[in-house]
Structure formats: structure tokens, C-alpha cells
Structure 1
Amino acid sequence: MIDHATKRSDEIVVSKKYKYFMVFLCMLTQAIPYEVAQTIQPLFVHPIVNTFHFTLASYTLIFTFGAVAASFTSPFIGKGLEKFNFKLMYLIGIILSALAYVVFGISTKLPEFYAAGILCMIGSTFYSGQGVPWVINYWFPFEGRGAALGVAFCGGSIGNIFMQPITQNLLSHYMTGNAKTGHLISMAPFFYFAGMLLIVGLIITFFIRTPKKDETVVSEAEIKAGKEAAAKKKASEFQGWTSKEVIRMKEFWIFSIGFLIIGLGLASLNEDYAAFLDTKLTLTKVGLIGSMYGVGGLIGNITGGILFDKFGTAKSMSYAGVMYVLAILMMIIISFLSFGNKMNMIAGCGYAIFTGLAVFSYMSGPAFMAKDLFGAKEQGVMLGYIGLAYAIGFAVGAPLFGMIRDSANFTVAWCVMMIFVVVGFLLLVSAAVKIKHRQKELINNNH
């Protein structure tokens, strides 16, 4: 896999095939270890709540605690990647997530489930949240990095397509009663997934790596072209404001509050959908809807970048807002129907597709918006601010949905989420329009 024909002095230029193999390993990481650690967890909510007689609000705090813990430890994990061998860090993450599923399997009380959720989310940060971008950035320092990241993260959507029905079918074998009132007769599914995560993770660990010291991932010509392109791009693009200047802008705070409120509304679509659909459909059908979400997410991730590049922040996020409103509308319709109604499956597939098409809004969206709205001067800092606003809303949204559902019903809970989404996107889009107007004024004044 090494292209010795392009070797210069004592260095080896790695072939494109080997670099693409690293992208495949990152995509596989998202499709299975990440999918098990994070995406299929909502499918366990209803069975666990019924089995141990928890309230929906109390159990879904598992996602809040996990998200907060992962956000807090992420910078430290990033520093660890700089100091320690990548394979070792990747392996630590895999072991932590697999161990978390073992803890899930032996848990009977809420604090134990919370601890498992925290451990699982922290573990996934090692190999997914920090690990995948770390590997891609090393193998693609110039041309092709964006495309490589996009392909790698599409693994999550691909994993959704087959992991959702597998999970629901496995759960159905270890449950008694229907999806609405049934409870687990064994915690075996957790141990199966712990084994799957560990085995696949160990296989990936054996192959995945960053370049060695005597390897060069780009030729001298590519390095020169990359630097020239970067310099040209920097000279022509809007450099923007400093973080101190941005913080003093009222539009920034409106934008951030809007994104936070959006997070409140979207948490339920990602974390509580299975607990709700289980009350209206069989486990197998809920798994199929999860597969449809994977298909929609795959399309959404690919087309999201195109939308941002062609239409900018305001129009692209407006489109995402409409998709989310339609998705929640599907859930509201389902909430009025009885268990097993044929319309439940149709509306459920609509929810999955609409939600999937808009996933770019919080996946690639923050990185694009940070630069598009506030410029390249302190892009990293602004990305941190934007990501934090959404993370806070998302962390609070899941348990809030559960509290509303427990005190009222699912219909009321979905209507409140609809209000959050509408208000949040209105604030974000209106702020984005005003910020772009400020940009134009600044550029005109400078010329």
C-alpha cells in the first residue's frame, strides 16, 4: 500500500489507497463502535423504564449527564492525543465504552445507569469525537480533508440503517409483553453489544494509526500547492472579528440563545423518539424507522455541505428548521393514533426522513456557521461558543421532554418541542441575516 515510486530522500510518500483505507476505518468506527456507544442507546429507554419502574424524565437524565461529562473531558482527551500513542488512546476509549455496556447489564438502580452512560460517552470521545478528526487531519493535511471527514462521519448514518433493526429485533427476544408495556426478562442484549463493540474496536485498533515519522502523506508539489491555495484563500476571505468583539454583539447572543433553544427541541427527536414510538408500534417497526432515519441522515450529511456552500447560513438553516417542524408534526399526528394504526408507520417514516435530511444543522453546521458569520480570525473560539450553546440546550432537552410527558402526555410534550424549534430557528436565522449585513457594511467601509 506504500507508493515507493514517489519516495524522496529517506521519506516515503504514502499512497492514496492507504489513506482511503484510514478513511474506511474511521467510517467503520462511526458505523459500529460509535453507533453502539451512542445512537442505539435511546432504543433501550422504554424497556428499561418499564422493567425498573423509572420515570421517563429521571432515566433520560442519562443523556444529560453523558453529554456534560463528554464535553468536560473532551479537551483533556485532545491533549492526551498529542502526548500518547494514538492506538493506545483509541483502545482506551473502546474498552471504556464496552465496559459501560457491561455496567448497563448489571445495573438495577438509576445512579448505576447514569454512571454507565457517563462512561460510555467519555469512551466514545476517545475514538469518535476526538479520534476520527485526529486521524483524518493527519492523513489529509491539505486537499481532500473536508471530503474525507464527510465520508468518515457518514458511517454513523450507514450504521443506523442496519444497527437499529438489529437492536430492536434483539430486544424483542428478551422482552415480554408488547412494545408499549413490555419489560426485559434478561439484560443479555447489553452484554452482546459490549462484545460487539469490543471485538470490532479491537480489529480496528490493530489497523488504524497516524503516519509514522518516516512517512509523508503529501508530495512536495502538493504541499506547495496547498500552502499557495491557503494563502490565496486567506487573502480573499472575510477575516472577521475577534472573540471579544463578537461577545459584545447583541446579534451573537440572539444567535446563541436561538441555537440553545433549538437544542432543547431537537434532543427529543434524537433521544426520546424510540420511547415514544414504542407506545405506538412494534419493536421491529420502530427498528425499520430507525433505518429510514439512517438513510435520511446519509443524504442530509452529504447535501448539507452543498446547501451551506450555495445558499449560506440563513437559507440553509431555514430549510433545516422546516424539516424539523415537519418531523415533529409527524410525531404529533402519531400521538393521536392508537397502537398499531397503519398511519403510525407512514408518519414514523416521515419523521425519520425529515429529521435525517436536517442533521447537517448540528453536525457540520456549527463549523460552517462559525466561519461564515464571524470570520476566520478566531474561528476555533467561535466554534467552541456555538457548540457550547447547542450542547447546553441538547443536554437539558431530553429530561425536559420526559418531565413534560410525565406531568401531561406525549402530545403536549411534542407541541412544546415544536414551539422550541420554531422560536429557536427564528432567532438564529434573524440573527444570521443581521450579522451578514454587518459583514457587508464592514467590507464596504474598508474599501
Structure 2
Amino acid sequence: MTNSSPANQSTRTVSNVYKYFMVFLCMLTQAIPYGIAQNIQPLFIHPLVNTFHFTLASYTLIFTFGAVAASIASPFIGKGLQKFNFRLMYLIGVGLSAIAYVIFGLSTKLPGFYTAAIVCMIGSTFFSGQGVPWVINHWFPLKGRGAALGVAFCGGSIGNIFLQPITQEVLKHYMTGNTKTGHLLSMAPFFYFAVALLVTGVIIACFIRTPKDNEEVVSAAEVKAGKAAAAAKKATEFQGWTGKEVLKMKEFWVFSLGFLIIGLGLASLNEDYAAFLDTKLSLTEVGLIGSMYGIGCLIGNISGGILFDRLGTAKSMAYAGVMYVLSIAMMIFVSHQPYGAHPSKVAGIAYAIFCGLAVFSYMSGPAFMAKDLFGSREQGVMLGYIGLAYAIGYAIGAPLFGIIKGAASFTVAWYFMMAFVIIGFILLVFAVVRIKRYQKRYIARHQENN
């Protein structure tokens, strides 16, 4: 954005190559700092539970507390990005997440681990949850923003491919006993990852930035064409209902309930898979499965947008539901196998692929569904409602899985998760079909009136 000062005389247009370099830095942010801050945490569950004799349910509350804290802090961080230098905010986030790993390494009691998880999640919101979209939106205000965001967030999946096996190898050097009963001899891995997160984050911060006042990221012709295209699109697309109107629709509440229940089931697939697989496979094999999950997520994130565009919300989410049911079925199969069985490794890889292919359902899915189902009139409000429903289910799901496992077994817990996923997707798809019918009637009435 430029101003009317004399400095405007030196305004220059930024090349596409430089803008794509910013996208690369965002992707690198997701791959390493965010990957360390969030994606590898599930791999520490089983070693820590064994070392300090926690229950699975009590320890996995770290994900609940972290998610809630980040949700509360996110709006304030967003406002901070508008007031303060982006690079400073980025470094604050990296610093907080690195400090969180130090707290992990020094902790021996649950409150310490809960504190670390909260600090880590808030820190990652600075440079990832709020930071990455902030950078992309500034460098791509018109054309290419969606593609740039998609590429940037693929970094998390790419990071999983190499971070998962590396983490397992590091843990293996600091554990005694097998993966089922082993415990940590040292908390050194946390300090190693704290340093890795801090160093990579600082290096990225040296280059990542938003445009300067004298930099033009789109030409005047692109601005004019973008406004004309936006006006033409607005004249033809479904404008939608207001937030108040949507809250009066019973189908919206069915949709939200379905997404909440889906969150209950999916939390265990993302947060507890390593703790479970550690009881059936070696650390190296679990790391391999984590890498395959990263590949599956990479394909799923890219293909998700294509599925939504070509199949629509109902069919795309039904497809995702089938993939999740298959992935949980693989976990149930593994739960019946003895430790170290080769079929467990094959089924674990199948789980990773199936689960990764459906990851779009809660990553890009909420943003697409908010506009597709309820229109663009109050798209931001609807995205907030949809995201909140899933977040509540996700926050409850991880500790609930631990409670069920503690009271019964992993097998019983996976059956519960499968039931949640099936019920949740049935409710969601049913509500989507009904909402789309209302949408067609709404459009028809307005066409008659016009």
C-alpha cells in the first residue's frame, strides 16, 4: 500500500519471482517451525506417559488446553499484526514455541506439560495460524491468493515426511526398552528440537516480510480487472443469508452437530495414532507411517480443492467420511495383531494414506463450505461458526479417546471413534443436502422477484 508522500516517486513493482519466494518461506515455516511446534508432538506421548506414569487421557489434555488457548489468543494476535512489525511478531511466535519446548524438557508434572502446550500453540499462531495468511494476503491481494495459500500450507505435509522419522530416530537414542514399555532416559530431545525450531525460525525471519510502502504488488491494470471481475461475480453468485437467518435454520444446527461429532473422532487420528502404534510397531516403523501420512496429506490438500469444485460439498465430504472410516478400520485391524507383526505395518501405511487423503475436510473444507452453503454475505461469520463447532469436538476428542482406552482398551476406543465419524458425517451430509435445497428455492424466489 502506498501513500501520497514524495517517496511515491520511487514506487517499484515487485516481480512474481520475489512474491513466490515469500510463498516458499511460508511453506518452509509450515514445514519446520510449525512442524516441530505442532506436528511431532504426538510422537512424544507414549514415551512421556511411560516415563512419568501419566494416563493417556490426562496427558492428551495438552491438545485441548493448547487449542482453547490459541483460539482465545488468535483474535488479539490478528490485531497485533495490524499494529506491529510483522517480523517482530514472527520472532515472538518462534521464541514462544522454542521456550515451550524448553519447558517440555524441564517438566516432570502434568501442569508443566499443560503450560508448555499452551505456550507452544499460542506461539505457532503468531507465525503460522495468523502469520502465514497475513503474508500471503499482502503479497497476493487479488489473483493467485488461493493457490499461494494452498502451496504454503502444504509445507506442513512436506515437513511431516522427514520430521516424523527424524523424531523417532532421536527418541530411539534416548529411550530404553521397546516402544510398548520403553521410557525416556533423558529429556534432551526437547532441547534439540527447541534449538532447531529457534534457529530455522530466525533464519526465515531474516527474509520473510510484508510489502514496503513503496512496493507495488499488483499493477493498476490488474486492480481494475480484479474489481471488474469481482463485480461481475457478485452479480451472478448466491449472496446468501445473514448470520441471524442462518442461526434460525435447524439444518445449520444439524450441520454443526455433525461437524462437532466428526471432531470427536478425528482428534484421535491426529493426536493419538503414534501412542497407539508405538504399542504395536518399532519407532522406525512408526516414523515411516508418519512420513506416509505426510505424503497422504500433501495429496489430500491438493486434491481437496479439485473435489469441492467438481463434486460439491455433499459428495466431497461423503468421500472424506469413507476415507476416515477406512483409516479407523486399519487401526482396529492393527489392534488385533501381536507386537511387530508385518500386517500391522502394511495396515498402518494404509491408515496414513486414507487419513491423509481426507485431510481437506477440516483444513480447506470449512472455508469452502461457509461460502458454498450459506453464501458470501457474511462468509467470515459463518466460517467462525463452522470452525468453532469442529474445534469444540476436536478439543474434547483427544482426552475422550484416552478415557475410553483407559476404561476398556485401544480396540474399544477405535470402535467409538468410528461410530463418531460415521454419525457425524451422516448428519453433516444430510444437513448439506437440505441446505442446498433451501438455497435453490431462495435463488428461484429472488429471480422471480427480479
Is the pair's TM-score, using the shorter chain for normalization, greater than 0.5? Answer: yes
Q: 1:3 maps to which residue?
A: none
Q: What are the superposed Cα offsets for residues 97-133 of structure 1, whole Å, 9 maximum, x if unpaired?
A: 0000000000000000000000000000000000000
- Give the drift of 1:229: 1.0
Structure 2 unaligned spans of 5+: 1-7
Q: 2:388 maps to which residue?
A: 388
Aligned amino acid, residue 134 of structure 1: W
Correspondence 1:65-84 to 2 at 5 A: 65-84=65-84
Aligned amino acid, residue 53 of structure 1: H
Correspondence 1:260-275 to 2 at 5 A: 260-275=260-275
For residues 229 and 333 of structure 2, the distance between their equivalents in structure 1, rounded to whole angstroms, comes to 51
For residues 90 and 10 of structure 1, the distance between their equivalents in structure 2, rounded to whole angstroms, comes to 28
1:175 aligns with 2:175: yes
For residues 69 and 330 of structure 1, the distance between their equivalents in structure 2, rounded to whole angstroms, comes to 33
- Give the drift of 1:142: 0.4
For residues 319 and 394 of structure 2, the distance between their equivalents in structure 1, rounded to whole angstroms, comes to 20
Aligned amino acid, residue 206 of structure 1: C
Aligned amino acid, residue 428 of structure 2: L
- Give the drift of 1:134: 0.3
Which secondary structure does the structure 1 equivalent of 2:206 belong to?
A: helix
1:42 aligns with 2:42: yes
Q: 1:87 maps to which residue?
A: 87
Q: What are the superposed Cα offsets for residues 393-416 of structure 1, whole Å, 9 maximum, x if unpaired?
A: 000000000000000000000000
Which secondary structure does the structure 1 equivalent of 2:10 belong to?
A: coil
For residues 311 and 343 of structure 1, the distance between their equivalents in structure 2, rounded to whole angstroms, comes to 34
Q: 2:5 maps to which residue?
A: none
Which secondary structure does the structure 2 equivalent of 1:239 belong to?
A: coil
For residues 13 and 223 of structure 2, the distance between their equivalents in structure 1, rounded to whole angstroms, comes to 12
Q: 1:280 maps to which residue?
A: 280
Correspondence 1:98-113 to 2 at 5 A: 98-113=98-113
Aligned amino acid, residue 278 of structure 2: D
For normalisation by structure 2, the TM-score amounts to 0.97
Q: What are the superposed Cα offsets for residues 312-343 of structure 1, whole Å, 9 maximum, x if unpaired?
A: 11000000000000000000000000000010
Which secondary structure does the structure 2 equivalent of 1:343 belong to?
A: helix
Q: 1:419 maps to which residue?
A: 419
1:27 aligns with 2:27: yes
For residues 13 and 228 of structure 1, the distance between their equivalents in structure 2, rounded to whole angstroms, comes to 22
For residues 321 and 417 of structure 1, the distance between their equivalents in structure 2, rounded to whole angstroms, comes to 12
For residues 216 and 356 of structure 1, the distance between their equivalents in structure 2, rounded to whole angstroms, comes to 38
Q: 1:290 maps to which residue?
A: 290
For residues 232 and 286 of structure 2, the distance between their equivalents in structure 1, rounded to whole angstroms, comes to 50
- Give the drift of 1:375: 0.2
- Give the drift of 1:203: 0.3
CA RMSD, Structure 1 to Structure 2 (Å): 0.9
Q: 1:341 maps to which residue?
A: 341
For residues 119 and 304 of structure 2, the distance between their equivalents in structure 1, rounded to whole angstroms, comes to 31
Correspondence 1:212-227 to 2 at 5 A: 212-227=212-227
For residues 193 and 233 of structure 1, the distance between their equivalents in structure 2, rounded to whole angstroms, comes to 47
- Give the drift of 1:446: 1.3
Aligned amino acid, residue 207 of structure 2: F
- Give the drift of 1:421: 0.1
For residues 9 and 302 of structure 2, the distance between their equivalents in structure 1, rounded to whole angstroms, comes to 39
Aligned amino acid, residue 33 of structure 1: P
Q: 2:204 maps to which residue?
A: 204
Q: What are the superposed Cα offsets for residues 288-312 of structure 1, whole Å, 9 maximum, x if unpaired?
A: 0000000000000000000001111
Report sequence identity in percent: 76
Correspondence 1:279-358 to 2 at 5 A: 279-358=279-358
Q: What are the superposed Cα offsets for residues 343-364 of structure 1, whole Å, 9 maximum, x if unpaired?
A: 0000000000000000000000
Q: What are the superposed Cα offsets for residues 61-95 of structure 1, whole Å, 9 maximum, x if unpaired?
A: 00000000000100000000000000000000000
Q: 2:3 maps to which residue?
A: none
Aligned amino acid, residue 350 of structure 1: A
- Give the drift of 1:10: 3.0
Aligned amino acid, residue 442 of structure 2: L
Aligned amino acid, residue 335 of structure 1: S
For residues 279 and 286 of structure 1, the distance between their equivalents in structure 2, rounded to whole angstroms, comes to 10
Q: 1:124 maps to which residue?
A: 124
For residues 80 and 204 of structure 1, the distance between their equivalents in structure 2, rounded to whole angstroms, comes to 20
Which secondary structure does the structure 2 equivalent of 1:424 belong to?
A: helix
For residues 246 and 312 of structure 2, the distance between their equivalents in structure 1, rounded to whole angstroms, comes to 19
For residues 230 and 89 of structure 2, the distance between their equivalents in structure 1, rounded to whole angstroms, comes to 31
Q: 1:5 maps to which residue?
A: none
Aligned amino acid, residue 231 of structure 2: A
- Give the drift of 1:17: 0.5
Aligned amino acid, residue 152 of structure 1: A
Q: What are the superposed Cα offsets for residues 219-240 of structure 1, whole Å, 9 maximum, x if unpaired?
A: 1111111111111111111000
For residues 408 and 207 of structure 1, the distance between their equivalents in structure 2, rounded to whole angstroms, comes to 51
For residues 75 and 11 of structure 1, the distance between their equivalents in structure 2, rounded to whole angstroms, comes to 32
- Give the drift of 1:205: 0.5
For residues 297 and 232 of structure 1, the distance between their equivalents in structure 2, rounded to whole angstroms, comes to 35
Which secondary structure does the structure 1 equivalent of 2:434 belong to?
A: helix
Aligned amino acid, residue 437 of structure 1: R
- Give the drift of 1:251: 0.3
Aligned amino acid, residue 175 of structure 2: M
For residues 423 and 437 of structure 2, the distance between their equivalents in structure 1, rounded to whole angstroms, comes to 21
Q: 1:400 maps to which residue?
A: 400
Which secondary structure does the structure 2 equivalent of 1:207 belong to?
A: coil
Correspondence 1:340-379 to 2 at 5 A: 340-379=340-379
Q: 2:4 maps to which residue?
A: none
Structure 1 unaligned spans of 5+: 1-7
Aligned amino acid, residue 382 of structure 1: M
For normalisation by structure 1, the TM-score amounts to 0.98
Tell me which moved more, 227-236 or 400-409.
227-236
Which secondary structure does the structure 1 equivalent of 2:318 belong to?
A: helix
- Give the drift of 1:9: 4.5
